[in-house]
Amino acid sequence: MHGAQSKRDLAMELQAQLPILRPSIHTRRANLTVKFQDLYGFTVEGNVDDVNVLNEVREKVRQQGRVWWALEASKGANWYLQPQVSSLSEGIVLKSSLKFSALANAMTLKKLIRKGIPPVLRPKVWFSLSGAAKKKSTVPESYYNDLTKAVEGKVTPATRQIDHDLPRTFPGHPWLDTPQGHAALRHVLVGYSFRDSDVGYCQGLNYVAALLLLVMKTEEDAFWMLAVLLENVLVNDCYTNNLSGCHVEQRVFKDLLSKKCPRIAAHLEALEFDVSLVATEWFLCLFAKSLPSETTLRVWDVLFYEGAKVLFHAALAIFKMKEEDLLLAHQVGDVINIIQRTTHHLFDPDELLTVAFNKIGFMTTNTISKQRKKQEPEVMKELDERLRRLNSLREDDRDLVDKNVNFEGHILYIAEFSLNVNS
């Protein structure tokens, strides 16, 4: 009896010690990497928990689909595409319609979209709510086909860079990395490079356009989504000549971080860590290269309805989620590792979006635009000084052919800018 008791005690004791003696069981399970395909066909490497999370996400997506169908049944087909409802983001709901039902619908839609648009409905909902449908309706029906035909066989610096990047855009993806996938992506990117020669082709757009193709299914719709994104949704000049818009966004982001997450901002500053080191890629690829596909697309769901402020919400949330870990980091490398581990494993979109919309606090597109205006002159001045320095470098080098082209472009650029300032 006594012996049995002590044996049991010993067993219990051992059991209690087990995690201490063999912590590696848990670590090993967590570290075991499995390869699997996510909802959009991307091969992801993750641990067992990630697989479980992804399965839960699949289930949530199905449930969310049922919610959308139920609403469709009660409110009528395409209720969310009514102009009074879909224009919430433009803030003209109250002016254009005093109908309470429309306002209620708009509020419902906003909440619904933050919870995610079901993948089957995404093409239709995005196309309408983003303004792509409207944009397309202002040109002849054959615009896209004509454009594609007109540019066929033309070679420009942009097309050369696009061709170079086609096989380097999500290599290994079961559709994107096939001849058909490459051809479709090429049409969209080349077409756009001719539509807007200021943008031409900017690396980063390859990832954005590739995801748009996966969602929208047709080249033409993906093309219009890309157009509305660059011309209406995002800030101007994000992708043009010297990425000035991107520089502005980064400064605004830094400001917002110190307002919304002052402890993190102060700590990172003490480490001499510039948040742009990680955030530049987020803003240029709209997270396509950093977050798992469904999480990226959930950010885009809201982006197309509520505007570019959503990118700031998501970016701030990534820092906010890891506040405690980040405050313990002592080196730049640690910070980057924490952030990258977080983004790569964010398989549950709600984990990110809950923080993004509930814990960051209220921001309006308007306040962000004001911030941008404030930062613009400083950015322009900096870029201008840099360019001047580089040009003076080039003066020394008589072999450079493109010197004058760059220089003239630059003068025009300054002239344009000073006009803007004066007006």
Partner 1 sequence: MAKTRNKNIQAKLVFLGDMGAGKTSLVSRFVRGQFSDFQESTIGAAFFTQVLSLNEATIKLDIWDTAGQERYHSLAPMYYRGAAAAVVVYDLTSSESFERAKKWVQELQRQGNPNLIKFLVANKVDLEEKRKVGNEEGELYVKENGLYFLETSAKTAHNVNELFYEIAKKLAKAAPSRPTGMRLHSRPQETGRRHSSPNLSNIRLFHLQVKWIKIKQRNGFSASETPTKHIA
**Can you give the binding site for partner 1, defined by CB under 8 A?**
161, 164-165, 167-171, 202-204, 206-207, 239-244, 246-247, 272, 274, 276-277, 280-281, 284-285, 289, 331-333, 336, 340, 383, 386, 389-390, 393-394, 396-397, 400
User: Shortest gap between Cβ of 165 and partner 1 (angstroms)?
Assistant: 5
Cβ pair 337, 200 in contact under 8 A: no
Comparing CB distances to partner 1, the nearer of 289 and 345 is 289
Comparing CB distances to partner 1, the nearer of 285 and 297 is 285
Comparing CB distances to partner 1, the nearer of 106 and 311 is 311
User: Shortest gap between Cβ of 236 and partner 1 (angstroms)?
Assistant: 15
β-bridge mates for residue 35, sequence order: 45
User: Shortest gap between Cβ of 239 and partner 1 (angstroms)?
Assistant: 8
Cβ pair 356, 317 in contact under 8 A: yes
User: Shortest gap between Cβ of 276 and partner 1 (angstroms)?
Assistant: 6
Comparing CB distances to partner 1, the nearer of 58 and 168 is 168
Comparing CB distances to partner 1, the nearer of 144 and 207 is 207
**Sign for the pseudo-dihedral over CA of 173, 174, 178, 180:** negative
User: Shortest gap between Cβ of 310 and partner 1 (angstroms)?
Assistant: 19
The pair of structure tokens assigned to 349 is 């979109």
User: Shortest gap between Cβ of 24 and partner 1 (angstroms)?
Assistant: 9
Comparing CB distances to partner 1, the nearer of 207 and 304 is 207
How far is it, in rounded angstroms, from Cα 144 to Cα 192?
10
Kindly give, in sequence order, each residue whose CB lies less than 8 Å from that of residue 46, ignoring residues fewer than 6 positions away: 33, 34, 36, 54, 345, 347
φ and ψ at residue 399, rounded to 5 degrees: -75, -20
User: Shortest gap between Cβ of 378 and partner 1 (angstroms)?
Assistant: 14
User: Shortest gap between Cβ of 351 and partner 1 (angstroms)?
Assistant: 24
Comparing CB distances to partner 1, the nearer of 106 and 226 is 226
User: Shortest gap between Cβ of 322 and partner 1 (angstroms)?
Assistant: 16
Comparing CB distances to partner 1, the nearer of 61 and 210 is 210
Other beta carbons within 10 Å of 152: 9
Comparing CB distances to partner 1, the nearer of 53 and 316 is 316
User: Shortest gap between Cβ of 420 and partner 1 (angstroms)?
Assistant: 19
How far is it, in rounded angstroms, from Cα 405 to Cα 343?
41
Comparing CB distances to partner 1, the nearer of 147 and 184 is 184
Comparing CB distances to partner 1, the nearer of 7 and 168 is 168
User: Shortest gap between Cβ of 101 and partner 1 (angstroms)?
Assistant: 44
The string over 155-188, giving b where at least 16 C-beta atoms fall within 10 Å of a residue's C-beta and e elsewhere, is: eeebbebbeebbeebbeebeebbeeebeebbbbb
